[in-house]
Chain A
Amino acid sequence: MSTTKGQSRSRKASSQDDGPVAERSRTAREAAAASNNGAETMPLDTEKILELYKKMNVIRLFEDAAQRGFRTGKVGGYLHLYSGQEAVATGLLEYFQDTDKVITAYRDHAHALLLGSHPTEVMAEIYGKGTGLVKGKGGSMHLFDVENGLWGGYGIVGGHIPLGVGMAYALRYQGTDGIVQLYFGDGAIHNGAFHEAANLAGLWGRDGMNPTLFILENNNYGMGTSVERATAMTDLSAKFDSYGIEHEDVDGMDLFAVLDVAKRAVQRVRETGKPYAIEAMTYRIAPHGAADFLERYRTKEEIAEWRKRDPIGLVEARLLESGVSDETLDGIKADAKAIVDEAVRFAEESPDPPLDELYTDVYADTVDTE
């Protein structure tokens, strides 16, 4: 059976079969082989792990609550959930520092929560309330919290990638030590915007002018199209080679592996001003949007298989192994639930944006030329 990474590792497997979609897709086990499990190299104290465990639980419960909001008609538009991919952003943003910037696509709730946006304001935005992160103007796809480092939240696949590269140039130009964490998907990598921007990043990086950390979240599907059905070169991170950008893969379901890679990668980009890329092999256990025809492009069995390597479950197992009690974990889950319940309550009780808000923010105030 050919697989996303398996195909590149053992190329002979790639051409012979032409079986059903699900059979050709990458398995959870093979994703695990994508990196040399960071668990060995990452001495983390239990306190820290518990803190990250809590963050991941908040994200998952937050997404479940947003989904309920959608199903009950309180949330409109499009809604893209991060469920299943929590370890990626949680691990990478652990090494975020104040001077850094984050830019991502429409699957952006987790990034906001991890960067410190208040869950109440994030949920209020998803509900389209005036108390939302962007005053109800953008909704789920366009979360911005510039003060905390989140520069959006974009809806056009690939469209934000050049922005991230330009932001990274600006960070160096302005003499800071910041880097840009630029997130995008396996579908977006086939968009022209990616290729033009990656080339620029590689070029400018030669002069130390492009501290972009590309984070390719490979969840194996762009909507209903698997990686195998989108490209003949399924080793996606190899595409960075054409632009002189070094890269590595990581098991995106394993928080410890992500943390390990993130620490090194962030430091390297910061020090060199050169771009670097991480391909995180992950999986969305949620539909593409709030709902999709899942069985048209993947099987329930495939999802069940990946759920066995649920990123939260993996952390939980590690904690139990190291002697943390069930009660402690239950307590953390209860705390996470309380945070999300409060976010939902706040969103539901918040007022709609005032109608005048429709006409504000179209243009920035022009400078006085007198």
Chain B
Amino acid sequence: MTVMTYREALRSAMTEEMERDESVVVMGEDIGVYGGTHLVTDGMLERFGPKRVIDTPIAEGGFTGAAIGMAMMGMRPIVEMMTWNFSFQAVDQIIQNAAKLRYFSGGQVSVPLVIRGPNGGGVQLSAQHTHSLEGFYGHFPGLKVVSPVTPHDVKGMMLTAIRDPNPVIFLEAGALYGTKGEVPEGEELVPFGEARIAREGTDVTLIGYGRQVNMLLRVADKLEREAESISAEVVDLRSIRPFDERTIVESVRKTNRAVVVQEQWRWYSVASEVAAILQEQAFDDLDAPVERVSGAEVPAPYARNLEIEAFPSEQQIVDAVHRVLYRKG
């Protein structure tokens, strides 16, 4: 094990794969000469040269489409979205081409493509620069969607993503690029479609992914310290599509209660899907309706106080836990 930051874990996965496989290239805005606006690709141009570390103009639709074309020919491009907010300009390419090519070519063509970049809000970037797109991209068959939170998982899932023969939407926790954690040396792939029990517990299951997992862990500690101590299990979904139904169902069989937390909007979201899966598969085990804690149903505001109000808070989660346990706050 070595300790590295989330950012370094990403870079080391991409670097190792580029060394192993010549067909892997990275492309995006300011990723080469500038080193990446979030420094994820820093030093890669010097190492691999401009044919494999490709700086692009501000043309997300064009370069994402071009990356799909490269992938169709057997290359394995990794596209950096400077932030996922800009991916809307490439959505036609991602959904109309990348997600469906395999299907409408009757299996003749595959698109081994990774699109990665920071996702989510929290630093006052306001309406056009604040989105959590798990549910949005998770909606489309043909795409794989992941949202890892630890440096360990970000490295292992990036390795898996690059080797996957399908388009992978790799949603990074932008706020956590500087956080450190243990990462295994060498190849240790983290498979898609397997959730992770981030903390064991017996009274309630807290379910989330990405940045929210850290908040859930803090809340779980808090609940433990309450007068009538509550033991919370925390499930980190990691993979949005494919989705690990078994882990959440098994956890709820044990705890009989669930709270799902997400930064994204509630309507048509991951939390809604989780709640539906639990009522279908664990109905008899549930002692309370599944609670969803989500972002406020508004475009993201700028002012600090409004932004804090718009996102799930620890207090909201604690309140939801008390509700599913029929306890007073």
Contact = CB atoms under 8 A, between A and B. Distances in A.
Interface of A: 21, 76-78, 128-130, 136-139, 141-142, 154-159, 187-188, 190-193, 222-225, 229-231, 293, 296-297, 352-353, 355, 357-359, 362
Contacts of B85: 155-156
User: Which interface residue of B34, B58, B310 has the most chain A CB atoms within 10 A?
Assistant: B58
A357 B306 contact: yes
A158 B296 contact: no
Contact of B306 (A78, A137, A156, A225): A137
A142 B304 contact: no
Given A188-B58, A231-B57, A225 B29 contact: yes
Contact of A141 (B34, B60, B128): B128
A77 B57 CA distance: 24
A192 B127 contact: no
Given A76-B124, A136-B306, A231-B57, A359 B296 contact: yes
Interface in B79-130: 85-86, 88-89, 123-129
Top 4 nearest A-B pairs by Cβ distance? A139-B302, A224-B34, A76-B124, A136-B303
Interface centre among A142, A155, A297 (most CB of B within 10 A): A155
A260 B30 CA distance: 36
Contact of A296 (B33, B60, B86, B299): B33
A154 B126 contact: no
Nearest to B88: A156
B279 interface: no
B297 interface: yes
B240 to A, nearest CB: 24
B302 A225 contact: no
A156 B89 contact: yes
Nearest to B61: A192
B127 A142 contact: yes
Interface string B284-308: 0000000000001111011111100
Nearest to B128: A155
Nearest to B297: A362
B59 interface: yes
Interface residue SS majority, chain B: loop
A223 B29 CA distance: 9
Contact of A78 (B29, B59, B129, B303): B129
Contacts of B124: 76-77, 128, 139
B128 A154 contact: yes
10 contacts: A136-B306, A139-B124, A139-B302, A142-B126, A224-B34, A225-B30, A225-B34, A355-B309, A358-B306, A358-B309
Contacts of A223: 29-30, 34, 37
A156 B33 contact: no
Nearest to A359: B298
A66 to B, nearest CB: 14
A362 B59 contact: no
A142 B310 CA distance: 19
Given A77-B126, A223-B30, A352 B303 contact: yes
A21 to B, nearest CB: 7
B33 A128 contact: no
B309 A141 contact: no
B274 to A, nearest CB: 25
Contacts of A159: 89, 128
Contacts of A76: 123-124, 302, 304
B193 interface: no
A120 to B, nearest CB: 16
A151 to B, nearest CB: 15
B181 interface: no
B35 interface: yes
Given A187-B57, A353-B306, A296 B125 contact: no
Interface in B33-86: 33-35, 37, 55, 57-62, 85-86
Contacts of A362: 297-299
Contact of A128 (B35, B297, B299, B303): B303
Contact of A136 (B35, B61, B301): B301
Contact of A129 (B60, B127, B297, B303): B303
A140 B33 CA distance: 28
A292 to B, nearest CB: 8
Given A223-B34, A296-B34, A296-B35, 5 more contacts: A128-B304, A155-B126, A223-B29, A224-B34, A293-B34
B203 to A, nearest CB: 32
A352 B305 contact: yes
Given A223-B34, A358-B298, A353 B128 contact: no
Given A156-B85, A192-B61, A297 B33 contact: yes
A51 to B, nearest CB: 32
Nearest to A134: B302
Contacts of A157: 58, 86
B304 A190 contact: no
A230 to B, nearest CB: 4
Given A128-B302, A136-B301, A229 B55 contact: yes
Interface string B158-171: 00000000000000
Contacts of A222: 57-58
Contact of A191 (B30, B89, B302, B305): B89
Listed residue (B33, B59, B85, B124) with the most chain A CB atoms within 10 angstroms of its CB: B59
Contacts of A141: 126, 128-129
A77 B305 CA distance: 13
A77 B298 contact: no
A189 to B, nearest CB: 9
Contact of B59 (A154, A190, A293, A358): A190
Contacts of A142: 126-128, 302
A138 B127 contact: yes
A77 B33 CA distance: 25
A224 B299 CA distance: 29
Contacts of B306: 136-137, 352-353, 355, 357-358
